[in-house]
Structure 1
Amino acid sequence: MALTNADVRNAEPLKKNYKLNDDKGLFLLVESDGIRTWKFSYRFDGRDKVITLGPFPEVSLTWARELRDEARELIADGIDPISRCEKREVFSPSVETFESVARDWLERVYRLEVSEEQFRRTKRQLENYLISSIGKRVVSEVTPEDLKSLANALGAEGHLEKGKRVLGIARRVYQHARDTGVAGYQQTSALRRRLTGSGTEPEFMVSTREQLTNLATGVLGQWSRTTTTAALKLTVWLLARPNEIVNARWSDMDLDAGEWRIRRKSTDSESGYKTITVPLPRQAVELLREMEPLTGRQEYVFPGSRDRRKHLGSSTLTGALKKVTRSNPVSSDNLRTLAATALGELGYQAEQIQAQLINQSGDEQTDRSAYLEKRREMLQAWADYLDNTVIGKVTRRG
């Protein structure tokens, strides 16, 4: 049913953006902050597209319909209205560019979700890798192949995690484009489908999968019950650094709660200490329960072979990791990069992954605690992913 002037005039903002549909592709986008904008959705050359006609009340319902009809005439003549936007002949092109949508998402959505440090990190990567290359292009003209080529270039240079993060940021920007009516449903759905692994995947993921398979079979395929083997498995499951694992103490473990609570000295705390909580996946809890009768009376979970009062050497653990993955060696740093790539493919957000990968003795406690439950779910998904890789069956999140 076509809109009336009263419908448009009385449109009130809600908690979420919503649309008031008029006729023949014209609609009024009512945003949560009260901004009301006329937009026109159409198909051209087999693609769903959206252009902005102007803000209400500056552009009345009658004027918006005239602009819509003008756009429809261009389409009938085989001319894409967006081409007129770029030449500034008619309509409004500014909100259609990738850069303007990305910056709007950064300020109005992302800034409210994360810490200031995480915000600056994402903004820097967005500017360096996305805005610099496709920022001036119209949002609806950017294809999954354009974005994946950026990730492929980074992956080819060895920056696997960064390439995956670029795709993750792009997905968020296009979700915002859809929420604000800048891009159509079909385009954003296609981007999400193609950038999460169900379409043609980036070339750098092929070699990454080979390394992940090598890692999983090399570490989890061992039946040895030595302290080093157990420590190695915990390193892989928790994505911790070797020196963090070998310093693990039984007093820090709460196996009933499934948590490793690390106490660190801190000048910022009244007690002089801070607690960093690392969620333990089911596999890690089972391993630690097996270890408890063997080393539970010692201070360290993984005591040294010569002196049980000391812990296992971190160099021993580092060497063991390279040894069991010798056909395609994986270092402790490379392990974290591989995991970030796999978790991104499983559907987890970059900031959630980053919160787990932060050094456990670092100072970025805010990010880690903000995503505790999501990290718990994520580490369990990672452990299951490795188990399934060993048996050749990996299931991705929808």
Structure 2
Amino acid sequence: MALSEIQIKKAKAAERPYKLADGEGLFLLVQKNGSKLWRLKYRYHGKEKLLSFGAYPEVGIAAARELKRAAKGVLAEGRDPMVHKPGRDFEEAKTFRAIATMWHENRASSLNPAHAKRVWSRMEQDVLPVLGELMMHEITPPEVLKVIRKIEERGALDISRRAKQCIGQVFQFAIASGLCDSDPTAHLRGL
């Protein structure tokens, strides 16, 4: 059952945060401090994800529902609403995947073909699923560290080191090409 404006206004802070469902994954999260935040729960490639739309009353119920419809439309097109959310300045050419592809093509001819294939295979398996659709300027050291730790969890310490090195090389290539300003792996030296 859809929320009403009255229900939202009457929602008070409680000892624990709680949700007021509006339907189709949209809900209002009422925090302990009384703030009310719009969220959309959805699944993309089998993984549950959570999209934030802003705080009530700045984002009203009609606006939250419209944002939900837009996100569901993006999902129906087979794209992740987290990446392609309304109002986000998305440029395919400035995603990590696009720049990593340019980096690899730029250096592949100077590498042994088998080694070039291994490098790209590792990127496809471990790095691109996490960072691929993010814009270069959106990638932070904690996001890179998450990729590295996930590889380390399976005991592949050498591969994790190489993945960090490749991510850093992609960022250095992007900086030299004028496509981004900083390298988040610089903050991970020695880890």
Q: TM-score, normalised by structure 1?
A: 0.26
- The 8 Å contact of residues 99 and 136 in structure 1, kept in 2 or not, is answered as yes
Does residue 147 of the first structure (1) align with residue 147 of the second (2)? no
**What does the per-residue CA deviation read over 1:235-283, in whole Å, with 9 as the maximum and x for residues that have no partner?**
xxxxxxxxxxxxxxxxxxxxxxxxxxxxxxxxxxxxxxxxxxxxxxxxx
Once the two structures are TM-superposed, the CA of residue 105 in structure 1 deviates from its matched residue by 0.5
Once the two structures are TM-superposed, the CA of residue 195 in structure 1 deviates from its matched residue by 2.6
Structure 1 unaligned blocks of 5 or more: 1-82, 87-92, 202-398
Return the alpha-carbon distance in structure 1 between the equivalents of residues 88 and 144 of structure 2: 25
1:194 match: 187
Q: From 85, 90, 97, give the equivalent of 1:99.
A: 97
Does residue 85 of the first structure (1) align with residue 89 of the second (2)? yes
2:131 match: 134
Q: Which amino acid aligns with 1:126?
A: M
Q: Please state whether the residue corresponding to 1:85 is helix, strand or coil.
A: coil
Once the two structures are TM-superposed, the CA of residue 193 in structure 1 deviates from its matched residue by 2.4
- The 8 Å contact of residues 97 and 135 in structure 1, kept in 2 or not, is answered as yes
Q: Over the residues paired in the alignment, what is the CA RMSD in angstroms? A: 1.7
Return the alpha-carbon distance in structure 2 between the equivalents of residues 127 and 133 of structure 1: 10
Return the alpha-carbon distance in structure 2 between the equivalents of residues 155 and 172 of structure 1: 20
- The 8 Å contact of residues 167 and 185 in structure 2, kept in 1 or not, is answered as no
- The 8 Å contact of residues 171 and 195 in structure 1, kept in 2 or not, is answered as no
- The 8 Å contact of residues 144 and 195 in structure 1, kept in 2 or not, is answered as yes
Give the alignment of 1:114-129 within 5 angstroms: 114-129=111-126
Return the alpha-carbon distance in structure 1 between the equivalents of residues 155 and 88 of structure 2: 41
Q: Which amino acid aligns with 2:104?
A: L
**What does the per-residue CA deviation read over 1:292-325, in whole Å, with 9 as the maximum and x for residues that have no partner?**
xxxxxxxxxxxxxxxxxxxxxxxxxxxxxxxxxx
Return the alpha-carbon distance in structure 2 between the equivalents of residues 154 and 192 of structure 1: 16
Q: Which has the higher strand share?
A: 2
- The 8 Å contact of residues 101 and 177 in structure 1, kept in 2 or not, is answered as yes
Q: Please state whether the residue corresponding to 2:89 is helix, strand or coil.
A: helix
Structure 2 unaligned blocks of 5 or more: 1-86
Return the alpha-carbon distance in structure 2 between the equivalents of residues 104 and 85 of structure 1: 21
1:350 match: none
Instruction: Figure out how many residues of one structure are paired with residues of the other and give that number.
Output: 106
Once the two structures are TM-superposed, the CA of residue 179 in structure 1 deviates from its matched residue by 0.9
Q: Which amino acid aligns with 1:196?
A: R
Return the alpha-carbon distance in structure 2 between the equivalents of residues 156 and 132 of structure 1: 16
Once the two structures are TM-superposed, the CA of residue 84 in structure 1 deviates from its matched residue by 4.3
**Closer/same/farther in 2, CA of residues 113 and 84 from structure 1, 3 Å limit:** same
Q: Please state whether the residue corresponding to 2:180 is helix, strand or coil.
A: coil
Does residue 179 of the first structure (1) align with residue 176 of the second (2)? yes
Return the alpha-carbon distance in structure 1 between the equivalents of residues 123 and 153 of structure 2: 19
Identity over aligned pairs, percent: 20
Return the alpha-carbon distance in structure 2 between the equivalents of residues 106 and 195 of structure 1: 22
Kindly report structure 1 stretches of 4+ aligned residues shifted beyond 3 Å: none
Q: TM-score, normalised by structure 2?
A: 0.52
- The 8 Å contact of residues 95 and 182 in structure 1, kept in 2 or not, is answered as no
- The 8 Å contact of residues 144 and 185 in structure 2, kept in 1 or not, is answered as no
Give the alignment of 1:354-393 within 5 angstroms: none
- The 8 Å contact of residues 126 and 151 in structure 2, kept in 1 or not, is answered as no
**Closer/same/farther in 2, CA of residues 84 and 148 from structure 1, 3 Å limit:** closer
Return the alpha-carbon distance in structure 1 between the equivalents of residues 92 and 154 of structure 2: 34
**What does the per-residue CA deviation read over 1:155-208, in whole Å, with 9 as the maximum and x for residues that have no partner?**
122111111111011011000110111111xx22xx2422322xxx2xxxxxxx
- The 8 Å contact of residues 122 and 163 in structure 2, kept in 1 or not, is answered as yes
